[in-house]
Structure 1
């Protein structure tokens, strides 16, 4: 059974969802795929996992780099899980491009190459945004693309982690 609660972040309201396996969803209000994995029997309430998620978010939005995360119940296809595993390896305050991420996924799967678009599609289906840091993936030369919570939020999250924007749509990113 899923339990839901809301968290008021500096970037808007967030829906958190947990089940017996751990935290299974985080969506910004109005985001793409909002609550698309929340079952019809989900009920508002609290669980220890949700309390831990709120604590982690408090630390994160205070500008700290949490060194822990609440238990996650990661649900997706085998390919999505490989991509999301790579996202979990991106350190706080750092970014990689979709092309770099595609190379990492190809290496992990022992393939010569992997289409960045396929990887981008898997990144976009991440239901645990922030905890699985998909906002740290950028386009070529640091262009801001593809964040389900909206590009304004993506830019704000990256600034929170120490990135200074050269323009509204481009990070200071080495070429």
Structure 2
């Protein structure tokens, strides 16, 4: 049985997904460049800001939030959550808060990234098997302290893992400090 997700769309998400059997496919810069481009395109299409990401040899971290609106993590209130699946009967979406349009959810964003990456490597390199695990891990970033922790974790992950300098720059690492600072105020 799989765990159902509850979406709190007004907060950022910290997402991690892995390669199958710890395949170190992203040591090759060509795969990392392809994934970097796909992350941004999927974010644009699904209406998500990509705040930060880190592509490691065998896994990827993404800090993302819906494009509009975002609230500072310090503006914490308990929103009404909506069900992530209609397995319990018909689910009625809640009305958008503060006049916000409902966009896609984080599951749709990650599915878009992973499926398009699989399509691209199949077409470009003839790899006919899935290199990414089908599941992903996500956490809602709902406090300033946790946001700071996530940003620092992404920033220093390649240092802690003793990876080469290439992992500290594009296409392996991105920090959109302008958007991240907006979340703190």
TM bin (shorter chain): under 0.3
Greater per-residue helix proportion:
2
TM-score, reference length from structure 2: 0.27
Larger radius of gyration: 2
- Asked which structure has the greater RCO (Cα within 8 Å, sep 6+), the reply is 2
The two structures have a TM-score, normalised by structure 1, of: 0.28
